[in-house]
Structure 1
Amino acid sequence: MAAVSVRDVAALAGVSLGTVSNVLNTPDRVSPATQKRVLDAIEKLGFVRNDAARQLRAGRSRSIGLVVLDIGNPFFTDLAEGAEDRAAEAGFALLLGNSHGTAARETRHLELFEEQRVRGMLISPVGEIEPQLARLRSRGIPSVLVDRSIADQSFSSVSVDDVAGGMLAVNHLLDVGRRRIAFVGGPTRIHQVSDRLEGASRAISAVTGATLEVLSTEALTVLEGRRIGAALVDRPPAVRPDAVFAANDLLATGLLQALTMLNGVRVPDDIALVGYDDIAFASTAVVALTSIRQPSALLGRTAVELLLAESEAAEGHEPRQVVFTPELVVRESTAP
Structure 2
Amino acid sequence: MATVSIRDVAERAGVSVGTVSNVLNSPARVSPRSVERVHAAIEELGYVRNDAARQLRAGRSTTIGLVVLDVRNPFFTDVARGVEDEAAMHSLSVILGNSDESVEREAAYLDLFEEQRVHGVLISPYGDVGPRLARLRSRGTPAVLVDRMSPDGGFSSVSVDDVAGGRLAARHLLDIGRRRIAFVGGPLDIRQVADRLVGARAAVEAQPDARLEVVELSALSVLEGRRAGEALLARPAAERPDAVFAANDLVATGLLQALVMQGSVRVPDDIALIGFDDIDFASAAVVPLSSIRQPSQLIGRTAVQLLIEEARDPGLAPRQVVFQPELVVRASTAAGGSRNETATSAH
1:196-215 alignment, distance < 5 Å: 196-215=196-215
Query: Corresponding residue for 1:130?
Result: 130
- Whichever residue aligns with residue 330 of structure 2, its letter is R
Deviation at 1:15, TM superposition (A): 2.6
Query: Corresponding residue for 1:66?
Result: 66
On the 8 A contact 2:79/2:296 being kept in 1, the answer is yes
Query: Corresponding residue for 1:7?
Result: 7
- The TM-score normalised by the length of structure 1 is 0.95
Deviation at 1:150, TM superposition (A): 1.8
Once residues 292 and 33 of structure 1 are traced to their aligned partners in structure 2, the CA distance between those partners, rounded to angstroms, is 62
Query: Corresponding residue for 1:227?
Result: 227
1:116-265 alignment, distance < 5 Å: 116-265=116-265
Once residues 70 and 23 of structure 1 are traced to their aligned partners in structure 2, the CA distance between those partners, rounded to angstroms, is 43
Once residues 154 and 204 of structure 2 are traced to their aligned partners in structure 1, the CA distance between those partners, rounded to angstroms, is 34
Deviation at 1:2, TM superposition (A): 2.4
Query: Corresponding residue for 2:95?
Result: 95
Query: Corresponding residue for 2:342?
Result: none
1:17-36 alignment, distance < 5 Å: 17-36=17-36
Once residues 99 and 27 of structure 2 are traced to their aligned partners in structure 1, the CA distance between those partners, rounded to angstroms, is 41
On the 8 A contact 1:233/1:263 being kept in 2, the answer is no
Once residues 127 and 16 of structure 1 are traced to their aligned partners in structure 2, the CA distance between those partners, rounded to angstroms, is 51
Deviation at 1:63, TM superposition (A): 1.1
Query: Corresponding residue for 1:323?
Result: 322
1:97-116 alignment, distance < 5 Å: 97-116=97-116
- Whichever residue aligns with residue 5 of structure 1, its letter is S
On the 8 A contact 2:150/2:156 being kept in 1, the answer is no
Q: Give the 3 Å change call, closer, same or farther, for CA 50–166 of structure 1 in structure 2.
A: same
Query: For this pair of structures, how many residues does the alignment match?
Result: 335
Counterpart secondary structure, 1:56: helix
Counterpart secondary structure, 1:132: helix
Counterpart secondary structure, 1:291: strand
Structure 1 spans left out of the alignment, 5+ residues: none
Query: Corresponding residue for 1:83?
Result: 83
Query: Corresponding residue for 2:49?
Result: 49
Q: Deviations over 1:241-295 (max 9, x none)?
A: 1100000001000100111113421000000000001111101111000011111
On the 8 A contact 1:225/1:250 being kept in 2, the answer is yes
Q: After the TM superposition, which segments of 4 or more aligned residues of structure 1 sit over 6 Å from their partners?
A: none
Once residues 14 and 308 of structure 1 are traced to their aligned partners in structure 2, the CA distance between those partners, rounded to angstroms, is 41
Q: Deviations over 1:56-97 (max 9, x none)?
A: 222221211111100111111111111112112212221111
Deviation at 1:166, TM superposition (A): 0.5
Counterpart secondary structure, 1:72: coil
Output the aligned Cα RMSD: 1.5
Deviation at 1:176, TM superposition (A): 0.8
Judge which range, 78-87 or 40-49, deviates more: 40-49
Counterpart secondary structure, 2:209: coil
Once residues 170 and 69 of structure 1 are traced to their aligned partners in structure 2, the CA distance between those partners, rounded to angstroms, is 25
Structure 2 spans left out of the alignment, 5+ residues: 336-347
- The TM-score normalised by the length of structure 2 is 0.93
